[in-house]
Every structure is written in C-alpha cells, then in structure tokens.
Copies of this chain bind each other. A is one copy, B any other.
C-alpha cells in the first residue's frame, strides 16, 4: 500500500468554500485520505511513507481541459490568421488527411508532454485513430476522456462504418487504465453530420450508456447555415434530435440566445468554453457570465493546438477572468476564484466527474499539481488565488501527480521520453509538408 505525505504546503483546495489551507496532505493508493492544517496523526502514517517537502510550493487540483484534438499539435503554427472555414477546410483537413498512425501518435505525444508540463491532468480528446491516443494515455498516466470525432458528410455505408468504429472504440476503452480512461460518442458538429446521423449517435449513446460530445455554435456563419438548412438554431436542432436526453458536452457554444442558455441549463448540458481558440479564429466571445449565472456546467478547453497555439490551460483561466470583464464593462464578473474553478472543479462537473476529481478533498482521486511560487512574479504573496489566475504560468508547474502517481518531477516527465517525442514530432511535420 503506497502512501505519500505532502508536508507543510499551501493547498488551494477548490472545494466548495475554495478553502486555502497551510498544512498537510496524505495520499494512499491514489486517493486523498487526509488534508488539514494539523500534522497527520502518527497512527495514520506508514513507516514507508514517501515525504514531499511542500516549502515554496502551492498545491492545487490538476487542471481539466474539456475540449481538444491532441494530434493536431503537428499543425501548430502551420496556418494562422485565417478564417475558420478556410483554415479548417483548406489548411487543416488536407494535412490531416495525410496523417499516418505514426503522425497521430507523435502529435498526441507532444501534446501530452505539453499538457503535463503546464499542469493539466485530465483532458478531453476528440479525433480519429483514438486507440492510439488511448494506448498512449494508458502509458503516460494522464486521465483522458476520449472520443472518436465523426464527420458524416459521406455515404451511408461509410457513415455506418465510422459510427461502428466510434462505438467499438468507446466500448473497448471505457474504464480502462484503472478507470483513468473514459469515453464518449462524438458526431463532429451539426453542420458536418446530417440530422438522421446525429440521431443514430444519440441512440447509440443511450444503448451503451455513453455521454455525447460535439462542436456547436462556434461561428455566426454556422448558426446561420443551421437556420437556413434546418429552420432552427443549433440548440433547438440538437434538442429535437434527443441530444440533450443523455449527458452531453458541447464545445464552443459561442453564439447563444437567452432562450438557448435557459434550455441548456434546464437540460443540464455541459459546455467547454474555448476562450483563446474562439478569439484566434474570430468566432467571437462566448456568454460566459450568463452561462455561469444560469447554472450551466461550463468549463474551459484549449481546443486543438493549431488554433490556440498552445495547451497551457493557465492561459485559458487567466483569459476567462480578463476577457469577459473587458467586453461586458463589468470588472466584477468572473472573479479569480471563479476562473480557477472553471479550470478545475467546473471542469470535473462538465465531465460529470465532480465526485472523483476537480478539488483537493478527502476521498477524491489524488490528481494534483505543485507550482513553484518562489519566483519574482509571485512576490509579494498577497493572495494566492489571485496569483494563480492573474500572474501564474503553466511553466511554474514543478510536479504533477495523477491518481497518486507522480508523472512530473522537477519539470521532468517521468513516463515519457521527451527528447524522442520532440524529434519525432518535428520529423512528422517535415514529412507532412513534403508530400
């Protein structure tokens, strides 16, 4: 039975009261068993307990990235400053069509390294060849919510094959890697999947008891096209297809009416707010304050590394706190504690995993990170929650644990060969542009 004792650290718990505790945490077999300002009682501690000196470190829940496409890191910086459809259809898709299995692996690997080194412990990933991402996740020790994203603009036979593949992947991998891997079903978007095809995903989600994930209302053009093609806005469209009758997670949801927000709240739909990607692709600014006000399960995602262009969730947290103040002229919206919750506890809520991750609390999985706060930008130490939102940086992450297992120690990845992964990512990109 393995036991870990974090001694004398500063713990930003992100529990309901967002308590900050100067004290001690004990982890046993991957689960938090003690967290208090007092030294743990001797009776709790084993003789072989591993000790970590918490001095100059702040401990917080690992970050939760609720939307992304990790293999796309190979295309980071390949095509910037374009509009969404040009970028996607003329730049991304042709390059992605050339991806080999090795490329998928190489892109996913460099992304997992980057996420770990910037404090993300749980990530949602939507792509194809997901068995490669799943096998990698099993090996790296991250917590992954994985789904094959399916574009349905093809023949019925091909549609069926893709849906079968998506179900096969989801059923095979759900709960694997000691429960670190869970799965979803994901029709790519209402504009890339015909209604009857989306209905088949809903049916399969019910049958296999899997959540649904999709892109929705990312751009104004897409909403207008939905109205033109189907006579309804995307929320009503998906609702009519039964999409919200199962636990579902929508990426983006930038363009929403008051009525749509009310419906999403009533149906308990989760949303991944992709702050930076929405700005970079000029999609717009999502209505985050209203979504939170309505009680929607909203959280943060980086989107793919080609539309961001990094996977540093601390930047999404900071920008979620900053952006909406500026665009609403209200400096009190999304205060620091709320922004930090968006990247941690609310992420867990979006994934319906709030009982097991998202905060440092006894009984929860020991998914946590330690930041080195003995750096100039943290001085003076006035308010640690403010500092984690308004001055911290993913590069301050010193150690990372998932389910009690240390994955990063002193900024070195313990489960990944980073030199090899960097070399292979570069080689993949060079091969992709040559062909």
Contacts and interface: CB of A to CB of B under 8 A. Distances in A.
B393 A80 contact: no
Which of A331, A381, A395 gathers most chain B CB within 10 Å? A331
A336 B322 CA distance: 21
Given A309-B390, A395-B393, A328 B282 contact: yes
A241 to B, nearest CB: 28
A284 to B, nearest CB: 6
A327 interface: yes
B82 A332 contact: yes
Interface residues of A, number: 70
A387 B279 contact: no
A282 B80 contact: no
Given A308-B390, A326-B278, A379 B73 contact: yes
A376 B117 contact: yes
A331 B83 contact: yes
Interface string A332-354: 10011000000000000000000
Given A279-B326, A422-B374, A332 B387 contact: no
A221 B363 CA distance: 50
B376 A281 contact: no
A383 B323 contact: no
A209 B143 CA distance: 62
B379 A425 contact: yes
A429 B284 CA distance: 40
Interface in A273-294: 276, 278-285
A360 to B, nearest CB: 21
A336 B422 contact: no
Interface string A64-95: 00000000011111101111100100000000
A253 interface: no
A376 B282 contact: no
A136 to B, nearest CB: 14
Contacts of A81: 325, 331-332, 335-336
Contacts of A312: 377, 393
Contacts of A308: 390-391
Given A80-B390, A376-B113, A377-B114, A429 B382 contact: yes
A393 B308 CA distance: 13
A27 to B, nearest CB: 27
A336 B395 contact: no
B331 A280 contact: yes
A319 interface: yes
Given A312-B377, A331-B281, A377-B114, A387 B77 contact: yes
A139 interface: no
Contacts of A283: 326
Contacts of A130: none
A434 interface: no
A83 B333 CA distance: 11
A296 to B, nearest CB: 21
6 contacts: A78-B382, A82-B332, A87-B331, A280-B331, A310-B391, A319-B319
